[in-house]
Amino acid sequence: MGIKTADRTLDLVELFARDQRPLNLSEMAELMGIPVSSAHGLVKTLQARGYLYEINRKQGYFPTKKLAVMTNSISRAIPLLDKLEPHLSQLRDDSEETVVLAKQQGDLVTYLDVFECNQSVRFSPISGEMKHLHSTASGKAILASMPNHEREMFLRRAPLEWRTPNTITDVERLRQEIEMGRQRGWCNIEGENIPDLMAIAAPVKINEEIYVIVIGGPIQRFKPLVNEHAKKLLTVCNAIETQAIGN
């Protein structure tokens, strides 16, 4: 359960990112589903800290660049990413598809970094997105890397929610998919989380922690090259583990 003030602050940041325009108090309150008085208090706090400024009374407020400066500073200091970036950007260039670094967080997987390809039609996830384990290639790779008892505990307790018509919601079928992926070293999805998206993922161990590297793209373009992409993916995972990145 989130803390209300923190949730509202993040909701406001995401609202500006989505709408990309100034907002007055009544618009914020309506779009966030909160009282105008609550929106006013939130805005005045952020304004006092230099994160928002008032354009004028009619147009309302918009973020300053302080948030971008702070987040960029944090991004540059994220552990491992500076060392992994050459490997992951090269994988993106070699595969000509989008590459994602992910890690398990509870019963979800979080996208830590995204290396988006230059194709006009492409997989375009966002850093910080959180996805279900059962319907993503990254999630399946995480499940495949778990000890058997942990994986079985997850399969017994987790609701296998429907995401698309191709989502696997049958426990036994999912178990078979995971085992297949475990044996060959990489897992895949085909339209199970996003229609028309195919992705493959493999786990990589860094400092005794399991991360996952994903390659994804449109099914029509990706599927004929899936084995080639898998070879490149496993080569990168082996290189990262061999170099002991993060030690």
Q: Do 134 and 60 belong to one domain?
A: no
Considering the entire predicted model, what is its pTM? Answer: 0.80
* Residue 226 dihedral angles phi and psi, to the nearest 5°: -60, -40
Nearest to 139 by CA among 202, 92, 194, 85: 202
Number of structural domains in the chain: 2
What is the C-alpha separation between 202 and 237, in angstroms, rounded?
Answer: 7
**What's the CATH code of the domain at 206?**
3.30.450.40
- Among residues 69, 89, 117, which one ends one of the domains? 69
Q: Do 101 and 185 belong to one domain?
A: yes
What is the C-alpha separation between 23 and 25, in angstroms, rounded?
Answer: 7
What is the C-alpha separation between 38 and 93, in angstroms, rounded?
Answer: 47
Contact 142, 104 (CB under 8 A): yes
What is the C-alpha separation between 172 and 96, in angstroms, rounded?
Answer: 34
Q: Do 88 and 45 belong to one domain?
A: no
> According to DSSP H, which parts of the chain are helical?
4-19, 25-32, 36-48, 66-76, 81-95, 137-145, 148-157, 171-184, 219-222, 226-242
Q: Do 64 and 85 belong to one domain?
A: no
Q: Do 36 and 150 belong to one domain?
A: no
What is the C-alpha separation between 116 and 81, in angstroms, rounded?
Answer: 15
Q: Do 114 and 186 belong to one domain?
A: yes
Angle between helices 25-32 and 4-19 (to 10 degrees): 110
For residue 74, being part of any structural domain is answered with no
- Domain hosting 57: range is 4-69
State the pLDDT confidence band at 115, using cuts at 50, 70 and 90. very high
Cα Rg, the chain, nearest whole Å:
21
- Among residues 69, 91, 113, which one ends one of the domains? 69
* Residue 110 dihedral angles phi and psi, to the nearest 5°: -110, 135
Percent of residues, the chain, with pLDDT higher than 90: 85
Q: Do 97 and 50 belong to one domain?
A: no
Q: Residue 74's pLDDT is what?
A: 78
Contact 102, 112 (CB under 8 A): yes
Q: Do 224 and 186 belong to one domain?
A: yes
Quote the mean pLDDT of the chain. 93
What is the C-alpha separation between 35 and 30, in angstroms, rounded?
Answer: 8
Q: Residue 207's pLDDT is what?
A: 85
What is the C-alpha separation between 68 and 65, in angstroms, rounded?
Answer: 5
Higher pLDDT, 83 or 96: 96
- Evaluate if residue 73 carries a pLDDT over 90: no
Q: Do 141 and 99 belong to one domain?
A: yes
For residue 55, being part of any structural domain is answered with yes
Question: What's the DSSP call for residue 224?
Answer: G
Pairing between β-strand 98-105 and β-strand 60-63 as defined by DSSP bridges? unpaired
Q: What is the pLDDT of residues 166-215, one digit of tens each?
A: 999 999 999 999 999 999 999 999 999 999 999 999 999 998 899 999 99
Q: Residue 77's pLDDT is what?
A: 67
Q: Do 51 and 33 belong to one domain?
A: yes
Q: Do 65 and 84 belong to one domain?
A: no
**What's the CATH code of the domain at 52?**
1.10.10.10
For residue 202, being part of any structural domain is answered with yes
Q: Do 29 and 109 belong to one domain?
A: no
